[in-house]
């Protein structure tokens, strides 16, 4: 079981020659056959779909972006395996059309949206976001999407809607990892209502101007850039507005290590490693982790009266 539990990204000084080799292999594969195999369905879909290139957004960082190859070959998507290269190798079996997302719970107008009508609900924006994984690595990724609030408004949340619960697809026929009892499937995540309505929270359909690659959570996922990456659920099929704080997959699995809030916080260590620094994928030296992953001006006010050590 311990193999399946997140481990922090190791310091470069601790990397063994074998790991160096594996890392190098990973990046070389990105330019080679593996990449070709995983690009073909995307290209086919890109031809059929409208442009995914969204308008630039004021919320984007100007930091250097990670490459498409890095973003699509160093993934966490346990439904397709627990190694970083597994999703890129295995997620080709995910069928992303037809696809629908059900939105229900504490609202006046529960609805089921077909993926193509969901896509047309609001104009797409390009959001270049830092994503900081709980394992102490990070990337800068150009996502295409629109604020989740645009969708939530459609169903008219009522006064009992205090939290939002997201459910990912869990189909053992398409997802080999779901037959392993790594997590209690389906993968679920959640946000408080104000977090879900925050303009930074993105309902995400694309990456680098193309439809989301399967390994990154096609056809639709959530991106919450000020929280550890595991809050950003992939390939979602259901959204529920609820009154009580929902159970979430990682919190159920190891509650002492993965809290509900999971805001990026360099001052609150993971019980097994420090969260003070991170390694940007593609770089060797470590950089300091920023409070709220650098998005404090937009989100800090939501936590003004909270003890973030207690609500980790």
Query: Residue numbers of the site for ligand MTE (CB under 6 A)?
Result: 75-79, 131, 133, 168, 187, 216-217, 229-230, 232-235
SS (H, E, C) the chain: CHHHCCCCCCCHHHCCHHHHHHHHHHHHHHHCHHHHHHHHHHHHHHHHCCCCCCEECCCCCCCCCCCHHHHHHCCCCHHHCCCCCHHHHHHHHCCCCCCEEEEEECECCCEEEEHHHHHCCCCCEEEEEEEECCCCEEEEEEEEEEEHHHHHHHHCECCCCCEEEEEECCCCCCCHHHHCCCCCCCCEEEEEHHHHHCCCCEEEEEECCEECCHHHCCCCEEECCCECHHHCCCCEEEEEEECCCCCCHHHHHCCCCCCCCCECCCCCCECCECCCEEEECCCCCCEECCHHHHCHHHHHHHHCCCCCCCCC
Select 78 or 99, whichever has its Cβ closest to ligand MTE: 78
The minimum distance between CB 235 and ligand MTE, in angstroms, equals: 6
Nearest-CB residue to ligand MTE? Answer: 229
Select 157 or 228, whichever has its Cβ closest to ligand MTE: 228
Select 80 or 113, whichever has its Cβ closest to ligand MTE: 80
The minimum distance between CB 277 and ligand MTE, in angstroms, equals: 17
The minimum distance between CB 109 and ligand MTE, in angstroms, equals: 26
The minimum distance between CB 189 and ligand MTE, in angstroms, equals: 7
The minimum distance between CB 304 and ligand MTE, in angstroms, equals: 27
Select 107 or 216, whichever has its Cβ closest to ligand MTE: 216
Select 133 or 148, whichever has its Cβ closest to ligand MTE: 133
Select 106 or 231, whichever has its Cβ closest to ligand MTE: 231
């Amino acid at each position: 079981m311990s193999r399946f539990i997140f481990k922090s990204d190791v310091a470069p000084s601790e990397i063994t020659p074998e790991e160096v080799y594996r890392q190098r292999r990973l990046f070389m594969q990105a330019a080679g056959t593996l990449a070709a195999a995983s690009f073909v369905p995307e290209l086919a879909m890109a031809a059929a779909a409208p442009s995914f290139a969204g308008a630039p957004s004021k919320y984007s960082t100007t930091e250097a972006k990670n490459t498409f190859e890095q973003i699509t070959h160093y993934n966490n998507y346990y439904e397709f395996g627990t190694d970083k290269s597994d999703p890129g190798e295995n997620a080709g079996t995910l069928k992303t059309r037809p696809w629908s997302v059900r939105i229900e719970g504490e609202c006046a107008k529960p609805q089921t949206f077909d993926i193509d009508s969901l896509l047309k609900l609001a104009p797409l924006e390009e959001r270049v976001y830092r994503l900081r994984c709980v394992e102490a690595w990070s990337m800068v990724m150009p996502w295409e999407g629109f604020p989740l609030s645009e969708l939530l408004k459609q169903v008219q949340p009522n006064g009992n809607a205090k939290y939002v619960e997201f459910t990912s697809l869990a189909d053992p026929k398409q997802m080999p990892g779901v037959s392993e009892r790594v997590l209690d499937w389906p993968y679920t995540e959640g946000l408080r209502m104000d977090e879900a309505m925050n303009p930074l929270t993105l309902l995400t359909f694309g990456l680098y101007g193309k439809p989301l690659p399967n390994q990154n959570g096609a056809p639709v996922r959530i991106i919450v850039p000020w929280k550890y990456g595991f809050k950003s659920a992939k390939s979602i099929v259901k959204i529920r507005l609820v009154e009580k704080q929902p159970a979430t997959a990682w919190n159920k699995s190891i509650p002492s290590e993965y809290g509900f809030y999971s805001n990026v916080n360099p001052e609150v260590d993971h019980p097994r490693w420090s969260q003070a620094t991170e390694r940007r994928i593609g770089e060797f030296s470590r950089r300091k982790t920023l409070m709220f992953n650098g998005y404090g001006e937009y989100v800090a006010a939501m936590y003004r009266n909270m003890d973030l050590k207690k609500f980790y």
